Amino acid sequence: MSLRLGDIAPDFTANTTQGQIHFHEWLGDSWGLLFSHPADFTPVCTTELGKTALLKGEFEKRGVKVIAVSVDDLDSHNRWIPDIEEVNQVQFNFPIIADEDRNVAQLYDMIHPNASEKATVRSVFIIGPDKKIKLTLTYPASTGRNFQEILRVVDSLQLTANYSVATPADWQQGDDTIIVPAVSTEDAIQKFPKGVKIVKPYLRYTPQPDKD
């Protein structure tokens, strides 16, 4: 059965390009981004891992540890990394799991037989400090991921975990947020001193609570 939001992210031990890890121990109290790529030495994956390396500082600002996985072995990963660095003009700076036994791929349902019987699809898992899965995304092999969107989702998840708000369509940092239905308008006026804008009884906006 596939993993669902709110499930505990399966723990595992694996070899990576930065040494052996125990996943939950490696995450510690951080948020985590675990994402799979279909294969080493492939064009779309080379751009994706390069983009992730370029954005690692942005993930770190948000307290997010990043780790990739594919069913290739450690030697293959290590031979591929110089290509990623050359193509993207970046120093590679996060681990890639060597999952040749497909243990991680099976735990996270990353192999979709109707797409490929061997390679992983482009799965994305965002995991909270409580080790629960907060978001899942699945892309086909032909479509590279939008890592700015992944950062946007992290921002939303972290904001909404701490305040009684949700984020509307196309929300970006600094935009107004939506007050969740569980908070009455009377309570919202007290809870959100920056103001409450009522569009419908069920649709009420307030400026982003954690911004000055």
30 φ/ψ angles, rounded to the nearest 5 degrees: -85, 165
* Alpha-carbon distances of 25 from 32, 77, 125, 129, rounded to whole Å: 12, 23, 17, 11
Angle at which helices 74-88 and 43-54 pack, to 10 degrees?
70
64 φ/ψ angles, rounded to the nearest 5 degrees: -110, 125
Check if the beta carbon of residue 68 is closer than 8 Å to that of residue 59.
no
Residue 34 belongs to what H/E stretch?
strand 31-36
Among the listed residues 45, 119, 153, 179, the single catalytic one is 45
Residue 169 corresponds to which tokens in the numbers above?
Answer: 């369509």
Establish whether 45 is a catalytic residue: yes
Q: Just list the catalytic residues.
A: 45
